[in-house]
A and B are shown apart, each in its own frame.
Chain A
Amino acid sequence: MAEKKQGRLTKVLDYLKHDDPFSKGVAFCPGCGLELLLRFIPRVLGNDIVITGTPSCSAPVLLGQNNQSWHTLSYFGTLMTGAAANATGLVRYYRKAGIDNTVVCFNGDGTANDIGFGNLSGAAERNEPFIYICYDNEGYMNTGIQKSGTTPFGATTTTTPYGSVHKGKNLRRMNLGLKMAMNKIPYTATATLSDLEDLAKKLLKAKEAKERGFCFLHVFAPCPTGWGADPADTIEICRRAVKTNYFPLWEAENGRIRMTKTVKKPKSVNTYTELMKKFHHMTEADMKVLQDDVEYEYCLLGGLSVLEAECQLPVSVKDQGDAS
């Protein structure tokens, strides 16, 4: 029998210092990106976090049913309209009462970018000391796959269906991560499930940065059911999203953007879209629009990450000192 090559255990396991507080049998679809992310967070950050969640795909797991619970974390079931404001109330009282805490405001893209964007923006503007994690599955999945503000151009959902006249979403997606980074909040970052070590590091950085104020994590979390993908492809979809610059990985400390993964030879976006039925109706012309979007956002990101060093705009020489 050939000597089995003793591979080295992945370093990611070193970050998983805490137990998985969730019951093993919970209601997420097979291959759900959200399930992996939800279990991953407390395994990295610890089981003393206070996590808030809204009616969503995570609700049947995050929120208790009568007196029974699916996990051992302290949680707060919020409304989509109030998520970040609820988290604000928690951290403000804990600060007043001197209670040490890590509050994780855990929401989908619908809450973060659409119905709850107001209080997300307010919490960022007030620099509230908690971690807001958006799991972006690009649509309202719990209600059965409707379009959201982060649904990409072209994608079909049940509210942007394929019809003879209209064919999928004809609007661009909002880039939530970039929007939040613009506020010079202590920490912003994007992350996804193919790069778990990167995700773990960013979670720990957020936990440290929250002492100085608001932290926002934009995590790309595919939904096989909603995207018409094979459940086995969830991680590969994340990998290709990064490799095509569809979902670049970066972080921003006090608004200064730094790529955490530079893709030397980015592939064209169709190597990403081919894994999901929601894109399969798209014409050449549609794909060009999507590719242009991806490149526009990536160049914007590139520009922002070198802005100060190579800024051509006139700046008052007198107070050239550190702006922060």
Chain B
Amino acid sequence: MSSNHYFKHEGPWSDAGDPLMCTDTGDWRTKRPVVDKDKCIFCGFCAIYCPIQVMEMQADTHFEANLDFCKGCGICAKECPKDAITMISEGEFVS
């Protein structure tokens, strides 16, 4: 008898009942965005243009990248109208 180990249905159905799959994309980047809170005018451009939508609001003062998933593309830094975000090489952060 065939099992239901991999699929719970007769056909190739996937249901999102189980927790979603998630890749450790944070491990892909070679540089990360660092936000200068003083320069940030809280306009949210970085948040809307982030392809992964992981520039997260911090209270309502500024935004910060969720480093678990940020791939270090640099769009936020490029789009920030106040140059409040700079991309720093991951090498600087190696403990």
Answer yes or no: A and B touching, Cβ < 8 Å. Answer: yes
Residues in A lying within 8 Å of B, measured CB to CB = 1-2, 4-10, 12-13, 16, 20, 23-33, 35-36, 39, 43, 63-73, 77, 193, 196, 224, 230-236
Main secondary structure of the interface of A (DSSP, over half): loop
Q: Say yes or no: is B53 at the interface (Cβ < 8 Å to chain A).
A: yes
15 more contacts with CB within 8 A, not counting A25-B25, A26-B23, A235-B79, are: A8-B43, A13-B48, A23-B23, A25-B68, A27-B23, A30-B29, A64-B12, A65-B21, A67-B13, A67-B15, A69-B14, A71-B16, A230-B74, A232-B78, A236-B79
Give the residues from 46 to 65 in chain B that come closer than 8 angstroms, CB to CB, to chain A.
47-54
Residues of B within 8 Å of A7, CB to CB, are 41-43
Please state if B38 and A1 are interface contacts (CB–CB under 8 Å): yes
Main secondary structure of the interface of B (DSSP, over half): loop
Please state if A31 and B74 are interface contacts (CB–CB under 8 Å): yes
CA A65 to CA B25, docked complex, whole Å = 18
Please state if B20 and A9 are interface contacts (CB–CB under 8 Å): no
Please state if B69 and A231 are interface contacts (CB–CB under 8 Å): no
Encoded as 1 (CB less than 8 Å from any A CB) or 0, chain B from 7 to 19 comes to 1100011111010
CA A70 to CA B23, docked complex, whole Å = 10
Q: Say yes or no: is B24 at the interface (Cβ < 8 Å to chain A).
A: yes
Residues of B within 8 Å of A69, CB to CB, are 14-16, 18, 20-21
Please state if B51 and A39 are interface contacts (CB–CB under 8 Å): yes
CA A231 to CA B53, docked complex, whole Å = 15
Chain B, residue nearest A33 (CB): B51
- 26 pairs of residues in contact across A and B, judged by CB atoms under 8 Å: A4-B40, A4-B41, A10-B43, A23-B20, A23-B22, A24-B52, A25-B23, A26-B22, A30-B51, A30-B74, A31-B51, A36-B50, A36-B51, A63-B14, A67-B14, A68-B20, A69-B18, A69-B20, A70-B21, A196-B49, A230-B74, A231-B74, A232-B75, A232-B78, A235-B49, A235-B75
The total number of A-B Cβ pairs within 8 Å is 137
With A231-B74, A235-B75: A72-B16 Cβ-Cβ less than 8 Å: yes
Chain A, residue nearest B79 (CB): A235
With A30-B29, A65-B14: A25-B69 Cβ-Cβ less than 8 Å: yes
Residues of B within 8 Å of A67, CB to CB, are 6-8, 13-15, 18
B20 to chain A, nearest CB (A): 4
With A8-B43, A24-B54: A30-B73 Cβ-Cβ less than 8 Å: yes
A185 to chain B, nearest CB (A): 29
Chain B, residue nearest A34 (CB): B51
- Within the complex, which residue of B7, B26, B47, B78 is in contact with A25, where a contact is CB–CB below 8 Å? B26
CA A71 to CA B13, docked complex, whole Å = 13
With A30-B72, A66-B14: A35-B52 Cβ-Cβ less than 8 Å: yes
Please state if B48 and A68 are interface contacts (CB–CB under 8 Å): no
Among B15, B25, B43, B51: residue with most chain A CB under 10 A: B51
CA A231 to CA B54, docked complex, whole Å = 16
Chain B, residue nearest A31 (CB): B73
- Within the complex, which residue of A6, A9, A39 is in contact with B52, where a contact is CB–CB below 8 Å? A39
- Within the complex, which residue of A2, A13, A65, A70 is in contact with B38, where a contact is CB–CB below 8 Å? A2
Please state if A72 and B74 are interface contacts (CB–CB under 8 Å): no
CA A71 to CA B21, docked complex, whole Å = 8
Among A24, A224, A235: residue with most chain B CB under 10 A: A24
Please state if A234 and B22 are interface contacts (CB–CB under 8 Å): no
Residues of A within 8 Å of B41, CB to CB, are 4-7
CA A36 to CA B54, docked complex, whole Å = 11
A180 to chain B, nearest CB (A): 26
Q: Say yes or no: is B89 at the interface (Cβ < 8 Å to chain A).
A: no
Please state if B51 and A72 are interface contacts (CB–CB under 8 Å): no
Please state if A231 and B75 are interface contacts (CB–CB under 8 Å): yes
Please state if B75 and A70 are interface contacts (CB–CB under 8 Å): no
- Within the complex, which residue of B45, B53, B68, B78 is in contact with A20, where a contact is CB–CB below 8 Å? B53
Please state if A26 and B25 are interface contacts (CB–CB under 8 Å): yes
CA A32 to CA B51, docked complex, whole Å = 7
